[in-house]
Chains A and B, each alone.
Chain A
Amino acid sequence: SQQGEEDPQALSIQEGENATMNCSYKTSINNLQWYRQNSGRGLVHLILIRSNEREKHSGRLRVTLDTSKKSSSLLITASRAADTASYFCATDPNFGNEKLTFGTGTRLTIIP
């Protein structure tokens, strides 16, 4: 089963609105990463948050992490048509383990 489960599976919003995606995971983690995948392309790293961090910002991205609830959220503010993509969370379930386990993804569509 997937370590990470994103919610919702699909999201459609108007351009300019904010988009929030959630990720839940099952085991203790070292860090949690978010990746974007445009249609027909490989994944691109967006942001990483470590287990001792609660919030992190990068441009229009804001990530939160709640290790007690084993959950994370990705907020994209002032969405643009170019943000249309699938978004995946990825966790490294074991300390010192280089493996990443990816969630099922949220398909985000920005309506112009």
Chain B
Amino acid sequence: DAGVIQSPRHEVTEMGQEVTLRCKPISGHDYLFWYRQTMMRGLELLIYFNNNVPIDDSGMPEDRFSAKMPNASFSTLKIQPSEPRDSAVYFCASRPPGLVDEQFFGPGTRLTVL
């Protein structure tokens, strides 16, 4: 079975540009989580969805960040405009329904904003 798929794996962009990160969760999973990992702040939850509906976006740092989940197999995290402090590794994770608490992580997207 394919795991969580993220693209691109690496993204280098200039300050002010729009960045879109993509995630395909594991089929059948109904929870999707977006995290950001930096050396300074560790692993932070940005937003999560259940059945394609955003449940908690309290971790989204600013209005420059937005996330969508148009269907069960696709989600995007967009940063517009990007800033150097957005440089981080962004992870997507999914979780199956029911009483399973384990999250399955994708390989991450390393974002560098120059």
Interface residues of A (CB under 8 A from B): 2, 30-31, 33, 35, 41-45, 48, 88, 92, 98-105
Contacts and interface: CB of A to CB of B under 8 A. Distances in A.
B105 A44 contact: yes
8 contacts: A30-B101, A42-B4, A44-B105, A45-B102, A48-B101, A48-B102, A99-B56, A105-B43
Contact of B101 (A2, A31, A101): A31
Interface of B: 4, 31, 33, 42-43, 45, 48, 50, 55-56, 91, 93, 95, 101-108
A88 B45 CA distance: 14
Contacts of B104: 45
Contact of B91 (A2, A42, A45, A98): A42
9 smallest CB-CB distances across A and B, nearest first, come from: A42-B105, A102-B43, A45-B102, A43-B105, A42-B107, A104-B42, A42-B106, A42-B108, A42-B91
B105 A101 contact: no
Nearest to A97: B56
A100 to B, nearest CB: 6
Contacts of B105: 35, 42-44
